[in-house]
Amino acid sequence: IRMLKEDYLYTNEFTEDSRGLIGYNINIPEVDELTNIDMFIEEALTMTLQHARKLSNKAANGVVNDITITVPSYFTINQRTMVKDAAELAGFNVLTLLNENTAAALMYGIDTPNLELPKKVLFVNMGSKDLELSIVKYYNHTTKNVLSTHVIEEAANPNVGGHLFDTQLVRILAERFDNLPERQGKNSIMENPKIVKRLMREVVKVKEILSSNKEAQIKLIEIADNLNLEFTLHRSEFEERIMPIIEKSRQTFLKVLENHPVDTIDDVEILGGGLRVPKVKEFITEMLGGKLLGTHLNPDEAMAFGSAYIAANSSSNYQVKKVYLYQSVPDTVYANITQMGGCKSEHEEDCFFKHLKLYAKEKNVLGQRKTINIEHHIENMNVVLYTVDSDGAESIISKTKIRGVDKIQIFKKDISLKEKYKLVIAFKYDKSGILTIKHASVVSDTKDSHFLNLIENLAGPSPLNAAQKKKIKKRLREADLRDKKLEKLKIIKNEFESLIYSSKEYLQDEDIQPYLKNEDEKVKLLLYLDEEQQWLETTGLTADYDNLKNKVRYLEKKINPIKKRKSQREQLADLIEKYQTKLDKAEKSFERYTRIRKKWLPEEDLEEFKVLLTQAREYFISISEFDNYPKNQKLPFKKSDLDEELKKVTRSLKSIKKIKKAKAEADVESHGELSNPVEDVIPPGVTDNIEIEDIPNDNFEGLQTEDIANDQIKVENIGEDGVPQFSEEQRAKMKEQVSQMRKKEQLKYDVISGKVDPETLSAEEREEIGL
């Protein structure tokens, strides 16, 4: 915590959790007060990943479940486990963790055109917080012509990065300001977190200027005590300050090049914002014997795309170019396996101790499994995994207890059976860089297995336990509810504020004045709006949702009647015209339907329709006269009143169309003599006015054929205006019937009028026209 505050100039409130790890001390809103909590580092990362998931879901227009995460190469097994825990708490399925340089190196191999193989490339990545070096070998797969990417060496320094350069610029500016004559005897501005935050933002621009210019003009207004800071900062002063930080990276370069001299490196690729500083580039060029520094990759994109490519390459849902990726284990791992409780026998042959090189850096890659078989010593065991650095110092990775041998029932009955069994311990160094004992079991020659209990303790601060994860999940749910509540509050507050301003503007509009009851109404409303605006800017800042919602409703209740009076008056003419048009359509439908059915439709039903139609027209005419009604008064009718008048007409039309033709009358018309042929025949013009092609698919207006009249074609739906709705099949059938009707009507009319001699007609034609 001291380092973060003093060296990195972080102003956050940090704390130490129960595991000895850095956490965040924050205040969260609980009802009307703030509650102080200590947040696990995994909890903060989980919230970040949850937000990333929301953005991903929105961009993908779906749900993103799988994730590949890049991490610094120097992350320990504990830290990698913590990242996985955070991702799983955020709802992700972690496919793999990938070192940052590894992801970028993969994209370099895929994107580089005409990549000459084999090739060895050094990747230098200096970001905000660290320096990472990786040597990557590219070659063709031995059996297939597929690109293979193998990370063979890595080194890192977490104490070198662009952020530390920024802190040195902040110190330069603070020293210049503190040395002003007006500041003598006062505390340094470095003790003021707000000023430090401001300077951290300012120096980013200063560093960019010094990266391309030899000097930068500094002009900062009112830093403290109403004093400004103005001076010229030379690049040389900045470089002098950061040189000790740059020098820290020398050992990192020497380490990565120890087994791979510079002359064996084909290319160098640099990544990260920290490398934009000219002095850093000069230092790297010197360390690499003048080699050209390549800048072909965008570091952020390369790492993201490389990670996505690995995820897609391991999925059956995507078809991508096949690549092979290998990552050498970061350090050689040793294992010590001993009997639990130590050897209690005086005979050395009865004791067991095994020391072995489990994973060799020069031979093994991540993702490999190892199995150790122990015969003749079927006991509870202790397993210690560790590494050894170049100075010979050991670093413990984990200590695991293997228990349960004494619980196996067959050994209790006959201990000599142990001779037929062996103890099997299975290790896995997965592709995320996490080394674990997957399982331990006692196995017989016949493959009979008894699995044992594993109690693993990682060295250093441990990852979250089950109780801590449960606590985080609960707090995340509470945080999600708070976020939703705050978002809801934000929306209603914005709605109320917007309503206040729009209402003020609305009331000031000259066109609104006629719709106000009087001038006093406007004055009172404007005064009320001013009071609400003042409340919103003071007391309203802490108001709850219900209070704001009630105020929105109350304001709408005051403003909406004015808006409604104006809207009613403006829409009256169009509304009347719309209803008159509907009446016209109903009348046309009535005339078309009754034209050939008038003889057998009841006169009283036809008369009722005409009366209702006349009444409706008169009603709409009377409504239109309200256009001269005082504009500041509400119209004495509702839209539902107009709807009801129209429904009376359409209901009458529907009832007429439901009337069935009497059977006896239908028989007489079908088989009897034509008593007055000229009067009974339908003139050709009757159906000529039906233009089928002009009628929309869903509105076969007014068309009724014999099949419809005799219920041979079923009308599925009839609209409010009495217009039947037909399918395409019905339309085609009726079109054919209309065509036949026209021919028959024309022929009958020509015979009766004397234009055609009946003797010239065939028997079939005579039968068709009823002769």
Tens of pLDDT, residue by residue over 104-118, are 999 999 998 888 899
DSSP states of 505-560: HHHH-GGGGGGSS-HHHHHHHHHHHHHHHHHHHTGGGG--HHHHHHHHHHHHHHHH
Q: Is the pLDDT of residue 119 over 60?
A: yes
Q: Which pLDDT score is estimated for 667?
A: 42
Alpha-carbon dihedral of residues 159, 161, 164, 165, nearest 10 degrees?
140
Task: Note whether 100 and 180 are same-domain residues.
Answer: no
**How far apart, in whole angstroms, are the C-alpha atoms of residue 76 and residue 86?**
15
Asked if 267 and 124 count as a contact pair (C-beta separation under 8 A), the reply is no
In a domain, 285, yes or no: yes
**How far apart, in whole angstroms, are the C-alpha atoms of residue 58 and residue 365?**
37
Q: At which of 464, 492, 519 does a domain end?
A: 464
Asked if 584 and 616 count as a contact pair (C-beta separation under 8 A), the reply is no
What CA–CA distances, in Å, run from 656 to 224, 601, 649?
90, 8, 11
Task: Note whether 117 and 219 are same-domain residues.
Answer: no
Task: Note whether 527 and 539 are same-domain residues.
Answer: yes
Task: Note whether 286 and 190 are same-domain residues.
Answer: no
Higher pLDDT, 103 or 12: 103
Q: What is the DSSP letter of 292?
A: P
Q: Which pLDDT score is estimated for 691?
A: 39
Q: Percent of the chain scored above 90 by pLDDT?
A: 51
Nearest Cα neighbor of 107 from 359, 307, 370 is: 307
If one counts the domains in the chain, the total is 5
Helix (H) or strand (E) holding 56: helix 41-60
Q: Which pLDDT score is estimated for 723?
A: 52
Q: Is the pLDDT of residue 687 over 60?
A: no
Task: Note whether 455 and 423 are same-domain residues.
Answer: yes
Task: Note whether 514 and 638 are same-domain residues.
Answer: yes
Q: What's the token pair of residue 377? A: 């010593």
Task: Note whether 551 and 598 are same-domain residues.
Answer: yes
Q: At which of 440, 464, 488 does a domain end?
A: 464
**How far apart, in whole angstroms, are the C-alpha atoms of residue 567 and residue 90?**
50
Q: Is the pLDDT of residue 246 over 90?
A: yes
In a domain, 25, yes or no: no
Q: For residue 237, give the CATH number of its domain.
A: 3.90.640.10
In a domain, 627, yes or no: yes
Nearest Cα neighbor of 378 from 350, 398, 400 is: 350
Asked if 758 and 751 count as a contact pair (C-beta separation under 8 A), the reply is yes
Q: What is the DSSP letter of 423?
A: E
Higher pLDDT, 27 or 353: 353
- Phi (first) and psi of residue 4, to 5 degrees: -60, -40
Q: Which pLDDT score is estimated for 771?
A: 63
Q: Which pLDDT score is estimated for 90?
A: 94
Residue type, 273: G
Which neighbouring-strand residues pair with 370?
A: 427
**How far apart, in whole angstroms, are the C-alpha atoms of residue 414 and residue 470?**
44
Angle, CA 53 vertex, CA 48 and CA 57 arms, to 5°: 155
In a domain, 423, yes or no: yes
Q: Which pLDDT score is estimated for 446?
A: 73
Mean pLDDT calculated for residue range 670-681: 39
pLDDT band at 212 (very low <50, low <70, confident <90, very high): very high
Pairing of strands 293-294, 267-271: parallel
Report pLDDT digits (tens) over 447-482.
Answer: 788 899 999 988 888 888 899 899 999 988 988 888
Q: Is the pLDDT of residue 252 over 80?
A: yes
Determine the structural domain holding residue 53 and report its residue range: 40-160+249-326
Task: Note whether 589 and 516 are same-domain residues.
Answer: yes
Task: Note whether 359 and 319 are same-domain residues.
Answer: no
Q: Which pLDDT score is estimated for 549?
A: 95
What CA–CA distances, in Å, run from 291 to 108, 122, 256, 764?
18, 11, 16, 105
Asked if 86 and 45 count as a contact pair (C-beta separation under 8 A), the reply is yes
Nearest Cα neighbor of 84 from 98, 101, 64, 73 is: 98
Helix (H) or strand (E) holding 251: helix 250-256
Mean pLDDT calculated for residue range 282-305: 92
**How far apart, in whole angstroms, are the C-alpha atoms of residue 287 and residue 249?**
10
Q: Which pLDDT score is estimated for 29?
A: 59
Q: Is the pLDDT of residue 688 over 70?
A: no
Report pLDDT digits (tens) over 560-587.
Answer: 988 888 888 888 888 888 888 999 999 9
Q: Which pLDDT score is estimated for 36?
A: 66
Q: Is the dihedral of CA 277, 278, 283, 289 positive or negative?
A: positive
**How far apart, in whole angstroms, are the C-alpha atoms of residue 146 and residue 404?**
47
Q: Is the dihedral of CA 434, 435, 436, 440 positive or negative?
A: positive
Report pLDDT digits (tens) over 34-57.
Answer: 566 778 889 999 999 999 999 999
Q: What's the token pair of residue 331? A: 């350090």
In a domain, 347, yes or no: yes
The full length of the chain comes to: 771
Task: Note whether 712 and 641 are same-domain residues.
Answer: no
**How far apart, in whole angstroms, are the C-alpha atoms of residue 96 and residue 67?**
8
Report pLDDT digits (tens) over 526-573.
Answer: 999 999 999 999 999 889 999 999 999 999 999 998 888 888 888 888
Asked if 508 and 76 count as a contact pair (C-beta separation under 8 A), the reply is no
Q: For residue 81, give the CATH number of its domain.
A: 3.30.420.40
Tell me the longest C-alpha to C-alpha distance in the chain: 140
Asked if 51 and 78 count as a contact pair (C-beta separation under 8 A), the reply is no
- Phi (first) and psi of residue 372, to 5 degrees: -115, 130
In a domain, 3, yes or no: no
Task: Note whether 320 and 296 are same-domain residues.
Answer: yes
**Whole-number mean pLDDT of the chain?**
84
pLDDT band at 294 (very low <50, low <70, confident <90, very high): very high
Task: Note whether 281 and 265 are same-domain residues.
Answer: yes
The answer to which of 177-186, 342-351, 409-418 has the lowest mean pLDDT is: 342-351
**How far apart, in whole angstroms, are the C-alpha atoms of residue 690 and residue 703?**
7
The answer to which of 131-145, 553-567, 755-769 has the lowest mean pLDDT is: 755-769
**How far apart, in whole angstroms, are the C-alpha atoms of residue 70 and residue 303?**
7
- Residue 166 CB neighbour total at 10 angstroms: 23
Report pLDDT digits (tens) over 695-749.
Answer: 333 333 344 444 444 444 444 555 554 455 667 777 788 788 878 877 877 777 7
- Residue 572 CB neighbour total at 10 angstroms: 16
Q: Which pLDDT score is estimated for 515?
A: 83
pLDDT band at 666 (very low <50, low <70, confident <90, very high): very low
Report residue 105 CA to chain centroid gap.
28
Q: Is the pLDDT of residue 2 over 90?
A: no
In a domain, 743, yes or no: yes
Q: At which of 611, 631, 659 does a domain end?
A: 659
Q: For residue 425, give the CATH number of its domain.
A: 2.60.34.10
In a domain, 6, yes or no: no
Report pLDDT digits (tens) over 19-32.
Answer: 878 887 776 655 44
Asked if 38 and 66 count as a contact pair (C-beta separation under 8 A), the reply is no
DSSP states of 323-368: -EEEEB-SS-EEEEEEETT----SSGGG--EEEEEEE-TTT-BTT-
What CA–CA distances, in Å, run from 545 to 497, 530, 548?
14, 21, 5
3-class SS string, 375-395: ECCCCCEEEEEEEECCCCCEE
**How far apart, in whole angstroms, are the C-alpha atoms of residue 613 and residue 698?**
25
